Every structure is written in structure tokens, then in C-alpha cells.
Amino acid sequence: MTARTSFSVLLCLLTIRAAFSLQSQPTRSFSRREWLSNMATTAVTATTILPQAANADPSVVSGLQGGIQDKVAPGHWIGQFIGLNSKTEKWEFPNSTPEEVSKALVDVLTSLTEDRKAKLYMPEFEIQTADASKLHVLTWTKLEWLDTLDVTFRPKENNGCTATASFYATGFLPTNIPGAPLFNVAFFWFPFASPGPRGEMLQSFRLRALNGLVTKRLEENKVTPDLYFP
């Protein structure tokens, strides 16, 4: 058996064992952080198998599997209905067009400091689509769980805009585990939570923060002619 095969087999065994241990409490919704803690106590070697948490950049494995998991998103199949790892909000911008709101959101994301990204639990992200109709972003946590941000923009009367923003977890397992998209399909039925700061759910916290930042950016972008041309 090759080293690569042994590595994959060990990961599978650890995943299965952790899954059985979690199923012993079926009425409870587990967080993904709790799962990682259980994995660590299941076997001492687990901490050396998973990519180092200190590295915020997605690993090669995450880079290869991220697109697949984003397309399938098994963690969102049930999560969108029970609200544990998914949140959708409507943002109203009465004085900004869809183009302006989309640009402001892209500006906010690309100008986030490392500290702000860490506070939002999304140290690494990839903007895949950004135009006047929609925005699609892949975000990875420090431990490489993949969450997706989807925003659609609709024009309103008087050049206003309504944005429908959804932030959701794509799966129970992080994408740095080989075969994670497949395992996450098997775990699609398993309830789990994504806790954020101060008891707030992570996706709600992120959306609230981004809404505030976009609103502030739009206000800054509104130039008052009298201020510059007295």
C-alpha cells in the first residue's frame, strides 16, 4: 500500500469514526469546530494529517475540490430550510443602482484588511462572478471550510436597488480533506451549526457586517459637488 493510499484510508477511518461518535447524540446540532475537536481526540495523528490552520491560503486539495463542492453544496440542501448554517437577507439601497451596489460590494471585499477578514472568519476568498445582476464568492475559513456568498441585484424605481444576499455553508467537512465533496453528500442530512461571535450565527454575523460596510462605502462614493466646487 502506497503512502498516498495509506493517507486516504486513515482519513476515511477517522471521518467514519468521528461520524459514529456524533450520531450518539442525534437530537443535538453540532458545530463544525466541535467536529474538528472530536477528530483531534479520536486520534493524535489527526492534527498532523490536516493542513496547518495557520496557513490561511486554501491548500492544493481545497483548490481542486472547492469548485466541485460549491456546485453541489450538500450542506445547503437542508441547511437553507432550518437556518443553522444558512442565512438570506434583503438589503434595500433606495439611492443606488445595482451597478453601484455590486461595485461597492466588490470594493468592500477586495479592500478588507487581514484583521477584518480574520474577524469575518473568511481569511481567503475568491470572487467568481461580479456584475450588475449577481455576485458569487467562495470563502474559506482558516481551517478551510468552504462557505458561499451569493448576492442578486434587482433595480427599483428611482434608481434604487434591492439586493438578496445569501451566505451558507457548503458542507460539514472542510475541503482540505481528500474526497470531502463526496463525504459531504453522504452527510447532507446531518444537522450542524456555524457559530459566530457573541452567540450570533456565523452567516448572520457576516451578512450584517457586509451590509454595514457596503452602506458606508456607498455613502462615501456619493460625491457632493458643492464640497469640491464651491
Within 13 Å of residue 77, how many CA atoms lie on the same side as its CB? 16
Would you call 122 helix, strand, or coil by DSSP? coil
- The C-alpha atoms of residue 206 and residue 13 are separated, in whole angstroms, by 34
- pLDDT of 11-56, one tens digit each? 444 444 344 333 334 434 556 655 555 544 433 333 333 333 323 4
Average pLDDT for the chain: 80
- pLDDT of 182-199, one tens digit each? 999 999 998 888 889 988
pLDDT value of position 33: 58
pTM (two decimals): 0.73
Would you call 155 helix, strand, or coil by DSSP? strand
pLDDT value of position 84: 80
pLDDT value of position 169: 96
Helix axes 98-110, 202-221, angle to 10 degrees: 110
- pLDDT of 47-87, one tens digit each? 333 333 323 478 899 989 999 999 999 999 998 888 788 99
Q: Which residues pair with 94 in a beta bridge?
A: none
> Is the pLDDT assigned to residue 177 strictly greater than 80?
yes
The three cell numbers locating residue 187: 452527510
> Is the pLDDT assigned to residue 214 strictly greater than 50?
yes
- The C-alpha atoms of residue 75 and residue 88 are separated, in whole angstroms, by 15
- CA distances from residue 7 to 2, 178, 184 in whole angstroms, order as listed: 9, 9, 19
Domains along the chain with CATH numbers = 53-222 (3.30.530)
